[in-house]
Structure 1
């Protein structure tokens, strides 16, 4: 069972009955989603503890990402019947699980387009990236 979402959470939100194959695959899929989410946002547990991200929001993101793959496991974007053709969605094809913009907003990770965070205050000691340092100042620090 997942740490942030359960099989029941996903089943309750799926619009049709699951097949036995889907039901058997669901625990592993939830685990994969949570693993991908933690790999993308390693500071997530610290953000929850620091109350910068709500646990309920993480649950919703895990459910949403799981449903996205459950509804479209092959990652189809479009399909044509006459002279069969299909296009794969690069965000889900190959089993990749992507954290979309809406999910980033729910997790409190969304920043304005021109802002690139160089620290994460939810970490015990904020980390600054050394590549953002210029002439003795942090990137964006225009004081002399």
Structure 2
């Protein structure tokens, strides 16, 4: 019992002094720097183009599971790039990397499964104006 109480005290003390950013709520700072509004996402090399209304930048994370409420884990949150892994119970999962080239241009890579089928996306997102 003493070991358990000691462990709880150590964890509490660690929380008081602060934990690494990856253990705290994700900021996803890169996405906050993107211009808000309408964006086109063109899948390379000759894939379809989709249009997104971007409010937070997080709309780029789940390109293949857009309407689902999925659990997310931030793998990397650097000044110019973010990588997020997500799981959508019963529908699959994905891992998306978003690299910012400017406020109006991003490079996207995403792969995972959707309803049992694998997918891999290499795309470019460009700001095109208001939603």
What TM-score does the superposition give when structure 1 sets the normalisation length? 0.26
More relative contact order, 1 or 2 (CA 8 Å, 6+ apart): 2
User: Would you tell me which structure has more strand in proportion to its own residues?
Assistant: 2
Q: Which has the larger radius of gyration?
A: 1
The structure with the largest helix share of the pair is 1
